[in-house]
Amino acid sequence: MSEEISVHKHHHSHSGESKSEKSRKSHRSSSHKSSSGRSSKSRRNVVISIMLNVLLIIAGIALGIMSGGNALYGVALFALFNVPLLLQAYFSLKLRKIPSYEYKADVYKHYSAAMLTVSLPIALLLTGVLFVLGFNRVDNDQLLVNDMPLIIGGLAGVIVNGLSVMLLKRAESKTVACKTVYDNSVVGTLISAAALVAGIMLLMNEELINSDPYVTMLIAIVTAVVAVKVLYVFIKRGFHMLPDGLEIEQIISTIKLNESVKNYRHLNIWTNNAEEVELSAHLSLDDMEKVDVVKAEIKEGLRKMGVDVVTLAFKRHREDS
């Protein structure tokens, strides 16, 4: 009888462990799905922002022609500068799904360089042209600017950039590109508001008709400053997937330093929040009872090397895996 009770207790304990393990797996699965859902929503929001900025480019040019001034060209120019950065933000979010570290780092650096090569020269060149156009019209007494197209265009810029700020709020803490384009959208809201105010001033008092050239030069200067800032941010932070002096081989050595670790997969590492370095990996262990010890040792070793956030998943090692 005592033997039967002992067996029954053992079976009950085993069943309890199984349920606990299932509960942990269920929690990890739901957490992964939740994170994946948030990333998917962020990518969707970036796509919406891209479409809104493309529409703003078209509207800014069309209404700029109708207004007879140059301020709305500046609003359109700023949106044109943002589109490549938004594409880069979208791509940086998709990199989280790429399992290979080497591919991720190389592609991200190449893509960032390509986007900057396209967007920065365009922004700086058009900004210079815009400034000259505005400066040449300051003393032009014959300059006639239609107030309503200027008001409508400025309002459209405020709405598009304001919506972009709201849409990018979820994503701005995830990658350097998302943070950069979020800040740009805030600036875009302000310069669009300047064009809107210029139009309202013209509507209220025609003697202030020369406000458009001043707003045009202001937008040109702000765009040039933002372009230089973007270049600085990406050179200093955006291209560094790893801390200075840290190599992927060092990270792998630290992970495999513990003898219980037999294999690793899906090793991802990226910069998070433009400053922190985040790493995730799936590890195979020969003894699952050592999970807590192995996890603590690896996290401590990686953090000493400059990896701020470490996420590890474990499974039992199989020879054929």
pLDDT of 82 strictly over 80: yes
Given a cut of 50, whether residue 17 has pLDDT beyond it is no
| Count of other CB atoms within 10 angstroms of residue 226 | 21
For residue range 260-281, what is the model confidence (pLDDT) as tens digits?
A: 788 877 777 766 555 677 777 8
pLDDT band at 45 (very low <50, low <70, confident <90, very high): very high
Q: Look over the chain and give the mean of its residue pLDDT values, rounded to a whole number.
A: 76
Write the CB contacts of 267 (distance below 8 Å, at least 6 apart in sequence).
99, 100, 101, 251, 252, 255, 279, 280, 281
Shared domain for 83 and 186, answered yes or no, is yes
Number of domains making up the chain: 2
pLDDT of 97 reads: 52
* Mean pLDDT within 52-69: 94
pLDDT value at residue 14: 38
Q: Do residues 229 and 249 both lie within one domain?
A: no
Asked if 182 and 259 sit in the same domain, the reply is: no
Q: Report whether pLDDT(81) > 50.
A: yes
Both 126 and 233 in one domain: the answer is yes
Domain assignment present for 9? no
Question: Predicted confidence band at 15 (pLDDT cuts at 50, 70, 90)?
Answer: very low
Give a yes or no: residue 226 inside a domain. yes
* Residue 180: inside a domain: yes
Owning domain of residue 167: 38-238
pLDDT digits (tens, 9 = 90+) for 163-208: 999 999 988 877 777 888 999 999 999 999 999 999 998 888 766 5
Residue 283's nearest CA partner among 306, 302, 304, 308 is 302
Residue 254 lies in a domain: yes
Among residues 238, 273, 302, which one ends one of the domains? Answer: 238
Beta bridge partners of 127: none
Tell me, yes or no, whether 260 and 318 share the same domain. yes
What pLDDT, in 10s, does the model give residues 119-133? 777 778 888 999 998
User: Which residue has better confidence, 221 or 251?
Assistant: 221
> Whole-angstrom Cα distance, residue 10 to residue 147?
84
Between 187 and 255, name the one with better pLDDT: 187
Helix (H) or strand (E) holding 268: strand 261-272
Same domain assignment for residues 233 and 247: no
- Tell which of 238, 267, 299 closes a domain: 238
For residue 193, the model assigns a pLDDT of 96
Same domain, 214 and 286: no
Q: Are 264 and 302 in contact (CB under 8 A)?
A: no
How far, CA to CA in Å, does 122 sit from each of 60, 79, 129, 220? 17, 12, 11, 13
Question: Helices 176-204 and 71-94: crossing angle, nearest 10°?
Answer: 160
Q: What span, in angstroms and rounded, lies between the C-alpha atoms of 24 and 31? A: 10
Do residue 287 and residue 256 come from a single domain?
yes
Higher pLDDT pick, 79 / 1: 79
Residue 152 has a pLDDT of 96
Percent of the chain with pLDDT strictly greater than 90: 27
With b meaning 16 or more CB within 10 Å and e meaning fewer, what string describes 180-193?
A: bbbbbbebbbebbb
Contact partners, residue 110, CB within 8 Å, separation at least 6: none
Judge whether 26 lies within some domain.
no
Q: Do residues 267 and 120 both lie within one domain?
A: no
Higher pLDDT, 134 or 159: 159
Position 56 scores a pLDDT of 96
Instruction: Choose among 257, 259, 318, 251: nearest CA to 290.
Output: 259
CA 157 to chain centre: 21
Confidence at 161, pLDDT banded by 50, 70, 90: very high
Of 101-110, 206-215, 245-254, the poorest mean pLDDT is in 101-110
Phi, psi values for residue 319, rounded to 5°: -60, -30
Residues 94 and 232 in one domain: yes
Q: Is the CA virtual torsion 14, 19, 23, 26 positive or negative?
A: positive
Residue 282 near residue 265 (C-beta atoms within 8 A): yes
pTM score: 0.65
For residue 78, the model assigns a pLDDT of 94
Q: Does residue 12 belong to any structural domain of this protein? A: no
295 in the same domain as 215: no
**299 shares a domain with 213:** no
CB 69 within 8 A of CB 216: yes
Rounded to whole angstroms, how far apart are CA atoms 320 and 289?
A: 21
Cβ-Cβ contacts under 8 Å for 84 (sequence gap 6 or more): 115, 118, 119
Encoded amino acid at 174, one letter: K
CATH (domain of 262): 3.30.70.1350
Structure tokens at 320: 């054929």
Structure confidence at residue 22 (pLDDT):
47
Task: Look at residue 80 and tell me whether its pLDDT is greater than 50.
Answer: yes
Q: Is residue 117 part of a domain?
A: yes
Domain finish residue from 192, 208, 238: 238
pLDDT at 265: 74
The pLDDT, as a whole number, for residue 245 is 57
Q: In 205-259, where does DSSP find H-type helix?
A: 211-233, 248-255
CA atoms of 194 and 189, how far apart (whole Å): 9
